[in-house]
Structure 1
Amino acid sequence: MTGVREDGLDARRIRFAHGRRILCDDMHITAPGGSVTALLGPNGSGKSTLLRLIAGTLRGEVETLALDGASLPSMRRRERAQRVALVEQEWSTAEGMTGRDIVGLGLLPHRGWLSFEGAQTDAVATDAALGRAGALEFAERDAATLSGGERQRVNLARALAQRPALLLCDEPTNHLDIRAQLDALALLASLARDGMTVLAALHDLNHAAAFADRVVVIADGHVQAAGSPQEVLTRELIARVWQVDAEVLLRPGSDRPLIVFDAAPALTR
């Protein structure tokens, strides 16, 4: 496949429509390996849809979809599940499943449904994923009793147990308090430093500015801008895409942007 990146995610000519509404129109998204790429855009811009298209849980038109130079659509389902994990905002569980049971589902692509060998190894891997996601205290809890934030941590641990090369996160700070939000974002940065490719849909621009190596802004079915937070998150782009006025400062002790929003009414197009 000519022109495909050999390191990280390369998705080209992505198209998807819901009824008459076009959510993705000839989009080109890249997420370099070993980095955190933040996917930004207004509500309804198609961030969740785009992640599901890349993960393969939603069907659409994609001319090229490659991870580390290998075509994801050409892989068998199990192989693709070994390479790509998706952390969605909301998820349901079977009755009576514990946090540990949920995280154990992440091991299935590597073991298969009917394998009962290596239970001790699986327990170690499950505990390691729970620990890294800050969810070990929820291991024996009935998943139905977990709060939204607790469920979010368990779901992230399930994805970590999958040991993916590409981690897709849809609003990973959803339902979390401030400390837990920062912990989750720091975890994504740590995973990227370990070599994982991370693509995370975020709604907080300051989170993206502080933690992402690269940002991709989408709106109206198209990529509006892509590059480093310093290059992309400008006052002009924020006004055009989000219809708000903002002042873009420098974060103390850093060259990263700090965005202060004006409390005045939204700008008009």
Structure 2
Amino acid sequence: VDGEAKVGWPTPSKKLELYSKTMADWGWPEYAAPAFIRSHIHWEDLDLAAGERVLVPTFRIPTLIHTRSANAKWLNEISHHHPLWIHPEDCEKLGIETNGLVRINTGIGHFVIHAWRTEGIRPGVVAASHHMGRWRLGDDKGRSWGAGKAEIDRDAEGRWHLSRGEQQPYESADPDTGRIWWRDTGVHQNLTFPVQPDPISGMHCWLQKVRVEAAHPGDNYGDVMVDTDKSHQLYKEWLAMTRPGPGPENLRRPLWFARPVKPLATAYVYESGGTTG
């Protein structure tokens, strides 16, 4: 421009591309230009009368960082409980009491969590922050400020059940572990989420279509149930939405896509020259 070299945008054309030749070349021509894509949680596909809602399991509170802050004692003292955010209108429709136990049914199982009635979330959507729910099986291993004792069993139908115990003070090189006063470490919701790889990018689709209901008799806070057969079945359904590779020049993915730690270009090439689903 005026005799001065410019780098441009990080795209093949160095321009801000409204039409993506990459999308067309890689088998998705209908999305080469911006378009609406109906998601797996589209509101018109929800049966609200049957208790179906959208679960947001990825929202964050300001005191924790994913589950990596489980070793920060002061932060865990501040935040060690993550109730389900649910609008009062949904509570009335579904018969859920304030701080009552709620069973969240996913495509492959369920988890049990406390409810928090709040107008801070819109009707039709529920949410549980993703920082908590760490668990351990041993009495003397894996202990931390945010990991509660758990037991895992398998029933006659092959489904896995995880039940939680309370956090307890314990002896360690840090005398503050003996001063732990809180008993809750949250609910491990991630186990109940099926594998949902976006057909184009492969990234996991975290939002969940769930069925929300009051807890059943015998349900306890922190209970988790997972059916791995259903998990594999749903994975195959998502896999069927993909389109076979390789792409142009026998590549696994476009070379120009930015990555935090980018491998050598040779890692992107199919050595056999075959196709994959």
TM over 0.5: no
TM-score with structure 2 length normalisation? 0.28
Q: Point out the structure with max Rg over C-alpha.
A: 2
Which one has the bigger helix percentage?
1
Of structures 1 and 2, the one scoring higher in RCO (CA 8 A, sep 6+) is 1
Give the TM-score, by structure 1 length: 0.28
- Higher strand content, 1 or 2: 1
